Amino acid sequence: MINYTEFSSSMNDDDDMISMIIELYSEEHGDDIRVIQNKYANQDIEGLFYTIHSLRGVLLTLCEEKATLQLETIENLCKYGDKPDVQRLNEALEEVARVNQQVLTLTA
């Protein structure tokens, strides 16, 4: 989950900047779970790497910790051409789904 206090502090409590980054996350990464699942199913390990790398970077900006760590492990596997275990991937995507739900509450 996003550590909103830390995220807000990192943005100098600038509500406009916070809103912009959250909206950008939704627009740019709101469909990443489906994209990741498709790349995994199609054995596109390189594409999986780039999608997860980008998602993880944005989650770091949002001061999210759990999914970021899970995705880092998967990213490292993909970086070396290894396909991650489906259970590991699903656990990370479940956490991303929780983050996406949290983001919806922040934009409402």
- Take residue 45 and report the two structure tokens written for it: 């390990």
Reported as a single tens digit per residue, the pLDDT across 11-35 is: 999 999 999 999 999 999 999 999 9
pLDDT band at 57 (very low <50, low <70, confident <90, very high): very high
CATH code of the domain containing 62? 1.20.120
Domain that holds residue 69: 4-107
By three-state DSSP, how is residue 70 classified?
Answer: helix
19 CB-near residues (< 8 Å, 6+ apart): 107
User: For tokens 């990370």, what's the residue?
Assistant: 92
How far is Cα 23 from Cα 40, in angstroms, rounded to an integer?
26
Instruction: Give the count of domains, the chain.
Output: 1
How far is Cα 86 from Cα 5, in angstroms, rounded to an integer?
33
